[in-house]
Chains A and B, each alone.
Chain A
Amino acid sequence: MKTLTNMKYILSPILLIILAIYSFAQDCTEYHQFHCLYADYTYFYSRQSKSALFRKGQTSELKIVIYGGEDYYIAVCAHRRFGDLHFKILEDNEDSTLIYDNAEHDYANSVTFTNEVTRDVIIVVSVPGEPEKGKIERRCVGVVIQFRKTKTEKAEPSEKTGFK
């Protein structure tokens, strides 16, 4: 009995260290910056991008602002053990207008679109599957948001160029 009590005192700090390491491993802050696919260099990174901790079967919402006159690129990513992520983009209005649903596009992990007016949108991200009772599996899920000015069809001014 005494041996068991001593073991408890010896192992408790070890357990705490392991827990601390495990907790650190669960820090998702920068996950999207290093794991999600980015658009090409013409897009700017938006600090509305975010990573968070998810469990299987969980759905979370990211409420962001998208500006008018801008093209947007939105990508999601997670560990492959989470499978294909489901994400939808809804306008945050009375009708919750559906802008995009990746379930209709073979669960593609990114989308680009042009936005004409500034609006609030909700990105709804779901991890497939059911939470398994007693089994704790949490992983990071990332959402990258990028934007660029929408190219207008305006004709360039006809200025004379060159030496002539």
Chain B
Amino acid sequence: MLILLSAFCCKPDRSSYNKSVKFEEDTSRYAQLESKIKEVYYRFPSPDEMFVIIDSIGLQFDNTLLLPTENAGKYLDSKSQALNLGVYIADLAYITLFERYKESVDYLQVIHQLSEKIRIASAFDENLVDRIEKNIRNIDSLRAISDDALTSLINYLVRNDKENTFAIISIGGIIEFYYLALNLVGDYKPENQNIQRIVDQKMAFDNLMKYSYEFSDDPNVSGTLEIVEPLSDFLNNITVVKVKTTITKTEDGRIIVGGGDKLKITEEEYNEFKILVGQIRKKIIEIS
């Protein structure tokens, strides 16, 4: 029907009209759709997924590490608003890990407020604030609400061609994840598996960098990439221990993917890593 209508409506008044011209018109009409077809898509876990792999048993919640909610109103430009929205999203993931309902409500509300400032609040269910208030004492419901809110936010940004904003929010989020996780696990101990898990996030960081470079013609994205470049350089210099990957099958048919390259960080590098993350985080949260 569409092709028929377009042929009727836009047919030029000339006898030389031919099939090849019509094909070109159809092609240009769909050029916008075609541009959405890509060959490679870079994906990276969200802060809540990153925290899930941290073994929190025996670790202490520390609310002094969080970015105070009062700061949200002080970010005036769109880059710092998006970056710090990412910071608050990671803070919420940290809060959820420790099941702190009071802070969950505060941080969900600040995420909503900051989203309104960068005009992406329509991503959320209009009853979000009501739902939060009705479930103020139920950590499971609050977790479900924050989960829905984050999924809706990401979907909204992708659907509305605001992936440049998503890149900035995600960079803010990963830096805050590093900051919280490194302070949570404390000093370097070679047997601490959580340290390895934090270092392994380099792969997520790399994918996020490649994803963000796709939008680097946006000055806000390129400015954000400049802030995190020293961390990118640092992570690229961590030693990789080469181990061959093995694919085996158990008797019950389960596939086991074993072996594979492993990142190895020294105590000195770990301390440098912590300082560097602290410096970058400071740049992100500072109020201009």
List chain A positions with a Cβ less than 8 A from chain B.
1, 4, 7-8, 11-12, 14-15, 18-19, 22-23, 26-27, 29-30, 33, 44, 46-48, 50, 52-55, 58-65, 67-70, 91, 93, 95, 97-100, 111-120, 134, 136, 138
The answer to whether B26 has its CB under 8 Å from any CB of chain A is yes
Structural contact, A27 and B159, CB atoms closer than 8 A: yes
Whether B256 contacts A138 by the Cβ 8 Å rule is no
Nearest residue in A to B263 (C-beta to C-beta)?
A118
Told that A99-B257, A138-B37 touch, could you supply 12 new A-B pairs with CB distance under 8 A? A12-B9, A15-B5, A15-B10, A29-B158, A53-B33, A62-B43, A91-B257, A112-B255, A113-B254, A114-B254, A114-B256, A117-B261
Cβ of A117 and Cβ of B155 under 8 Å apart?
no
Contact status of A61 and B203, CB under 8 A, knowing A48-B45, A70-B53, A114-B256: no
Chain A residues in 8 Å Cβ range of B197: 67-68, 118
- Complex interface: chain B residues within 8 A of A99 (CB): 245, 247, 255, 257
Contact between chains at B23 and A48 (CB < 8 Å): no
Contacts between the two chains (Cβ within 8 Å), count:
148
| Residue of A whose beta carbon sits closest to that of B243 | A117
Write the nearest CB–CB distance from B212 to chain A, whole angstroms.
Answer: 14
Is the CB–CB distance between B207 and A63 below 8 Å? Answer: yes
Interface residues of B in 245-288 (CB under 8 A from A): 245, 247, 254-262
- Bound-state CA distance A93–B259 (Å) is 12
Contacts of A112 in B (CB 8 A): 254-255
Interface pair B10/A8, CB less than 8 Å apart: yes
Q: How large is the interface on B (under 10, 10 to 19, 20 to 34, 35 or more residues)?
A: 35 or more
Select from chain A the residue with minimum beta-carbon distance to B32: A23
12 contacts between A and B (CB under 8 A): A47-B154, A62-B41, A63-B41, A63-B43, A69-B53, A99-B247, A112-B254, A113-B256, A114-B254, A117-B257, A117-B262, A118-B203
Q: How far is the CA of A35 from the CA of B38 in the complex (A)?
A: 21
B residues at A contact (CB < 8 Å)? 1-2, 5-6, 8-10, 13, 23, 26, 29-30, 32-33, 36-46, 49, 52-53, 150-151, 154-155, 158-159, 197, 200, 203-204, 206-207, 210, 243, 245, 247, 254-262
Min CB–CB distance A82 → chain B (angstroms): 14
CA A22 to CA B243, docked complex, whole Å = 49
B45 close to A52 (CB less than 8 A): no
Q: Which residues of B contact A4 (CB under 8 A)?
A: 13
CB distance from B215 to the nearest CB of A (A): 16
Residues of B with C-beta under 8 A to A12: 9-10
Closest chain-A Cβ to B148's Cβ sits at a distance in Å of: 11
Closest chain A CB from B204 CB (angstroms): 5
Give, as a whole number of angstroms, the nearest-CB distance from A29 to chain B.
4
Instruction: Determine whether the beta carbon of B203 is less than 8 Å from that of A120.
Output: yes
Look across to chain A and name the residue whose beta carbon is closest to the beta carbon of B3: A136
Cβ A52 vs Cβ B254 within 8 A:
no
Q: Assess the A60–B254 pair: CB atoms within 8 A.
A: no
Given A112-B254, A119-B203, answer yes or no on A50-B43 (Cβ-Cβ < 8 Å). Answer: yes
Distance in angstroms between the alpha carbons of A69 and B52 in the assembled complex:
12
Contact partners of A117 in chain B: CB under 8 A: 243, 257-262
- Which of A8, A95, A114, A138 contacts B255, CB < 8 Å? A114
Q: What is the CB-to-nearest-CB distance from B157 to chain A, in angstroms, rounded to a whole number?
A: 9
Which chain B residues border A14 with CB–CB below 8 Å?
5
- Contact status of A113 and B2, CB under 8 A, knowing A23-B33, A53-B36: no
Residues of A within 8 A of B13 (CB): 1, 4
Q: Is the CB of A47 within 8 A of B39?
A: no
Cβ distance B241 to chain A, nearest Cβ, rounded Å: 10
Interface centre among B43, B150, B245, B254 (most CB of A within 10 A): B43
Q: Is the CB of A118 within 8 A of B151?
A: no
Complex contacts, B259 vs chain A, CB 8 Å:
116-117
Contact A47 B151 (CB under 8 A): yes
**Contact, CB under 8 Å: A63 / B49:** no
Q: Which residues of A contact B38 (CB under 8 A)?
A: 52, 60
